[in-house]
Structure 1
Amino acid sequence: MTPDVVAVFETYPAVLKDRLLVLRALIYETASDTAGVGPLDETLKWGQVSYLTQQSGSGTTLRIDRDKATGQPALYVNCKTNLLSQYRTLYPEAFGYDGERGVVLGEAPDQDALRHVIALALTYHKSKTRAG
């Protein structure tokens, strides 16, 4: 982690920070387990810790932060994608949703569903190419 990323994590209350670090680990694990994703770049975008597939170009940026309404951990994607629509169709009850960009995680999110939504984001551009 870069010092800037560490500094953002340090701004969160301990319990939220721990949950976001678990989410971070799951993002890296899912990237490693998903064919064609390659290494992730961790950076800040809009003040949020963000994960990019710059080397492979396979996916859209994932960001993690606290949901402003609930205070729960959340995973954010670009609002110009159709990912939230896919997530809502696949997992209508598994998560909360924030507009067209956020997946709000409850106290004990379904890990398989969470891995799947992460993988869909990490392969978004690859999937668009196959579909189109």
Structure 2
Amino acid sequence: MTDPLADPPFIDPQVARRFAEFPVELRAGLLELRAMIFAVAARLPEIGRIEETLKWGQPAYLTPETKAGSTLRLGMPKTGGFAIYAHCQSRIIPTFRDRFPQDFTYEGNRAVLFEPGAALPEDKLSFLIAHALRYHLRQSRAS
């Protein structure tokens, strides 16, 4: 049976397999974050095509043609729950934390953490996703 939250459909069978391996109590939240990434990317024509692949065994989202974005990854932190990860040496998570300091739980400069069943505020998380997907565009403008 196909998971109704797996929208858009998976292109890479390894990524689909990885999502199927996530614990069921975390899968819905991770699929919701995945859908947000694709929805935000669709509103940003300047970033080009989004690619979904695995990096370090985690679903990862890149902008391979334009190199406009910094990779986002989805996974499970050792502390439990699920997370969206950004490159720890970027300003992606710190910028998001500066804007929403009390709204989320953070793991340093690398992740926003969520508990199973947590509501995922699309408006706020869309800011994070768009910032990551346009990160190198912003950096080149700042130079």
The alignment status of 1:32 with 2:66, answered yes or no, reads no
Is the 2:36–2:122 contact (alpha carbons within 8 Å) kept by the matching residues of 1? no
> 1:11 deviation in Å?
1.2
Is the 1:20–1:65 contact (alpha carbons within 8 Å) kept by the matching residues of 2? yes
> 1:121 deviation in Å?
0.3
**Unaligned stretches of 5+ residues in structure 2:** 1-9
4+ residue runs of structure 1 moved beyond 4 angstroms? none
- Listed as ranges, the matches of 1:6-85 within 5 Å are 6-69=16-79, 71-85=80-94
Give 2:97's aligned residue.
88
**TM-score (ref. length: structure 1):** 0.93
> 1:58 deviation in Å?
0.8
- Rounded Cα–Cα distance in structure 2 between residues aligned with 1:56 and 1:27: 17
3-state secondary structure, aligned to 1:5: helix
Give 1:131's aligned residue.
142
3-state secondary structure, aligned to 1:36: helix
**Unaligned stretches of 5+ residues in structure 1:** none
- Rounded Cα–Cα distance in structure 1 between residues aligned with 2:99 and 2:45: 21
Query: RMSD between aligned alpha carbons?
Result: 1.2
Q: Which moved more, 1:54-63 or 1:29-38?
A: 29-38
- Pick aligned residue for 1:97 from 106, 109, 120: 106
3-state secondary structure, aligned to 2:54: strand
> 1:105 deviation in Å?
2.8
3-state secondary structure, aligned to 2:61: strand
Q: What amino acid sits opposite 2:72 in the alignment?
A: L
Identity fraction in percent: 38
- Pick aligned residue for 1:4 from 5, 14, 34: 14
3-state secondary structure, aligned to 1:44: strand
> 1:56 deviation in Å?
1.5
Q: What amino acid sits opposite 2:129 in the alignment?
A: I
Instruction: Number of aligned residue pairs: give it.
Output: 131
> 1:97 deviation in Å?
0.5
- Residue 105 and residue 35 in structure 1: after superposition, are their counterparts in 2 closer, same or farther (change >3 A)? farther
